[in-house]
Amino acid sequence: MGPIRTLLVDAGVTEQQWRVLRVLNEEGPQEPTHIAERACLLLPSLTRILQNLEQKDLIVRRSHPVDRRRQIVEISKKGVEIIRANLAVSVAQAERIRTQLGPEKHELLLDLLSELKDLET
């Protein structure tokens, strides 16, 4: 994560904020509970992260069209710009790790991380 952390510091976002932006960029607007699940974050942590992202104008929150008690979160144009500016380096870093581990160990790592995530829920 070292090189990724440097990239994110330069972009002005934390690792958790980056994960939220990636989820929103890849999957589109959605409710916070789904974002928390997809970004592997606890909902109380996500609430704080969303506040920070909104203050930085990286996301937009709006009321759910059917149930005003719920909200929908969407990445902003500024958030998309951060993703676009840094995604290539992030993907290259992930590919470097995959290459160093080899395909079998990389898949094993992903499986173990998935199991660990399932244990927490």
Of 53, 43, 46, 27, give the one whose Cα is nearest residue 121: 43
Confidence of residue 39 (pLDDT cuts 50, 70, 90): very high
Of the chain, the end-to-end C-alpha distance in Å amounts to: 24
pLDDT per residue as tens digits for the range 57-92: 999 999 988 888 899 999 999 999 999 998 888 888
Domains and CATH numbers, the chain: 2-120 (1.10.10.10)
- Predicted TM-score (pTM) of the model is 0.82
For residue 111, what pLDDT is reported?
A: 85
